[in-house]
């Protein structure tokens, strides 16, 4: 069974703090995505990374794909209450979507 | 608003019953994906259709089936329902057929099996 692990499972921080969440696997992925999901809504795509070592920035969010394409991190600078939500990573092996696996998510709460 | 619509929003039914969930993709999107999200299993990909044809199959049970119609809307049929089928069911759509095109998720249907 292919597993995608995320850590931490839960994170509660004060507004303005920095944080990093991780997505790890023993599998090599052709690409990896990060989503944010708010309660009662569907996930929203944040980023897709495809190249080992790739770094992408989206305002205060920085995403990195590991050199070996087995892991990824999401760093948030100066967290805001609007960042609250469930952060999911999804990894794809090969080119067919039937190989996609999702991590269990990191639930982030940013306290004003 | 992602542009993807799902009906119904909530559904409560009994074990052994059959239900149909409906999804309308964003205008112009040809691919529709179905997902199941539960507390113990997380988000799982069930099945993808592209322009009416099955494109990829994930962890979809044999009791579940789906189809995409000529007008591109899709239906997910769940039969012989069990308590463990209680979950959020999401539909997503994308413009392309290949993997990891940007997908837009609908608001979901919350299914409760009693």
Instruction: Provide, as residue numbers in chain A, all residues whose Cβ is less than 8 Å from the Cβ of B66.
Output: none
Question: What is the Cα–Cα distance from A72 to A64, expressed in whole angstroms?
Answer: 5
Question: What is the Cα–Cα distance from A44 to A36, expressed in whole angstroms?
Answer: 5
In chain B, whose CA is at the least distance from the CA of A96? B99
What's the pLDDT at A40?
A: 86
The residue behind tokens 């994906």 is B33
Instruction: Provide, as residue numbers in chain B, all residues whose Cβ is less than 8 Å from the Cβ of A30.
Output: 99
Q: Is B90 on the interface with A (CB under 8 A)?
A: yes
Measured in angstroms, the CA of A107 and the nearest CA of chain B are apart by: 12
Question: What is the Cα–Cα distance from B61 to B84, expressed in whole angstroms?
Answer: 12
User: Which residue from B42, B98, B108 is facing A95, i.e. has the nearest CB?
Assistant: B98
DSSP B43: E
Phi, psi of A82 (to 5 degrees): -70, -10
User: Which residue from B100, B105, B107 is facing A33, i.e. has the nearest CB?
Assistant: B100
Q: Is A112 on the interface with B (CB under 8 A)?
A: no
CB burial string A31-40: b at 16+ within 10 A, e below: bbbbbbbeee
Question: What is the Cα–Cα distance from B78 to B82, expressed in whole angstroms?
Answer: 10
Query: Tell me: the pLDDT tens digits for B50-109?
Result: 999 999 999 899 999 999 999 999 999 999 999 999 999 999 998 866 656 788 999 999
Q: What is the pLDDT along chain A (112 residues), one digit of tens a residue?
A: 558 999 999 999 999 999 999 999 999 999 999 999 998 899 999 999 999 999 999 999 999 999 999 999 999 999 999 999 999 999 988 777 777 889 999 999 999 9
Helix intervals (H) in A5-86:
none
Q: Is B44 on the interface with A (CB under 8 A)?
A: yes
What's the pLDDT at B97?
A: 61
Query: Tell me: the pLDDT tens digits for B9-60?
Result: 999 999 999 999 999 999 989 999 999 999 888 899 999 999 999 999 998 9
Measured in angstroms, the CA of B51 and the nearest CA of chain A are apart by: 16
What's the pLDDT at B41?
A: 84
């Amino acid at each position: 069974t292919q597993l995608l692990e995320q850590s931490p499972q839960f994170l509660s921080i004060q507004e303005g703090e920095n944080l990093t969440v991780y997505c790890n696997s023993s599998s090599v992925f052709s690409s990896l995505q990060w989503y944010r999901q708010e309660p009662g809504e569907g996930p929203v795509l944040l980023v897709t990374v495809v190249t080992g070592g790739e770094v992408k920035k989206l305002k205060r969010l920085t995403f990195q794909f590991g050199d070996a394409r087995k892991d990824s991190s999401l760093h948030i600078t100066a967290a805001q209450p609007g960042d609250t939500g469930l952060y999911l990573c999804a990894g794809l092996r090969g080119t067919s979507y039937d190989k996609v696996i999702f991590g269990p998510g990191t639930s982030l709460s940013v306290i004003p | 608003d992602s542009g993807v619509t799902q009906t119904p929003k909530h559904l409560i039914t009994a074990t052994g019953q059959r239900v149909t969930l409906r999804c309308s993709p964003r205008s112009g999107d040809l691919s529709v994906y179905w997902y199941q999200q539960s507390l113990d299993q997380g988000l799982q990909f069930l099945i993808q259709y592209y322009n009416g044809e099955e494109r990829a199959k994930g962890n979809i049970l044999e009791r579940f089936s789906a189809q995409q119609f000529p007008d591109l809307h899709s239906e997910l049929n769940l039969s012989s329902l069990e308590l463990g089928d209680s979950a959020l069911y999401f539909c997503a759509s994308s413009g392309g057929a290949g993997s990891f095109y940007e997908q837009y998720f609908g608001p979901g249907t919350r299914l409760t099996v009693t």
